[in-house]
Amino acid sequence: MSLLQLVWAKFMKKLRLSAVRNSHVHSTAKIEAGTSFYYSTMAKHSFVGYDCEVLCADIGSFTSVANGVVIGGGRHPMEWAGMSPVFYKGRDSVKAKFSEYERPPNRRVKIGHDVWIGRSAVLLPGVVVGDGAVVGAGAIVTRAVPPYAIVAGNPARVLRHRFDEATVTRLLAIQWWNLEEDLLRRLAVDIRDTEKFIQGAEAAIEVRQ
């Protein structure tokens, strides 16, 4: 494929736009083309990739969501005698309505700060993903993910943590994602050295106190 063809393909991909409805997206955050983002929020410097579906979710700051990810969604009322949309209120794929009862409200998905969600992962309604966690590509997340855990599989299970327990505790204490951007820019020189980065943040926070 030539460079011109690559540029054209990327242009056509972005031309599809995204669908954002009843949501709040921070001005520094981004939603890529082909993504549906409904009844959700996303904080600063986060992004959602191409062709994702996000419904009833709250996404923190500095979080990265790869392409093709599904977050949240509705559920069929399994406790009813019948689960078909013909029995509950709202516009659906079916045309007939035998009754129009209200379904139970959708459970919100809570995604923390500095989270990375891999391509084509699925996060079921009500799931909570802790700060700093990693969700592997194609994972099906059915339960809470601890902070800084790396999970993968179907259903997703904890493989390991990004750092040792003491380091995780300190990262959660400094909450670097809440620091002023001028300070974060100064600290960013040490982003590849976790210990130095934490020490710098701790020192800055201590000076303020």
Q: Provide the residue range defining the domain that includes 127.
A: 14-162
Nearest to 94 by CA among 102, 105, 86, 106: 86
Domain total for the chain? 2
* Active-site residue, from 24, 26, 45, 76: 76
Could you read off the pLDDT tens digit of each residue along the chain, which spans 209 residues?
566 545 544 555 555 556 889 999 999 999 999 999 999 999 999 999 999 999 999 999 999 999 999 999 888 888 999 998 898 887 777 888 898 888 888 899 999 999 999 999 999 999 999 999 999 999 999 999 999 999 999 999 999 999 999 999 999 999 999 999 999 999 999 999 999 999 999 999 988 76
**Token pair belonging to 160:** 């390991």
Q: Which residue(s) pair with 57 in the sheet?
A: 109
- The answer to whether residue 98 sits within a structural domain is yes
- Whichever domain contains 91, its CATH number is 2.160.10.10
Residue 76 annotated as catalytic: yes
Q: Tell me 86's DSSP state.
A: G
**Length in residues, the chain:** 209
**Tokens read off for 148:** 């800084």
Q: Are residues 126 and 56 in the same domain?
A: yes
Full-model pTM? 0.88
The sign of the torsion formed by the CA atoms of 173, 178, 184, 189 equals positive
Residue 146 domain flag = yes
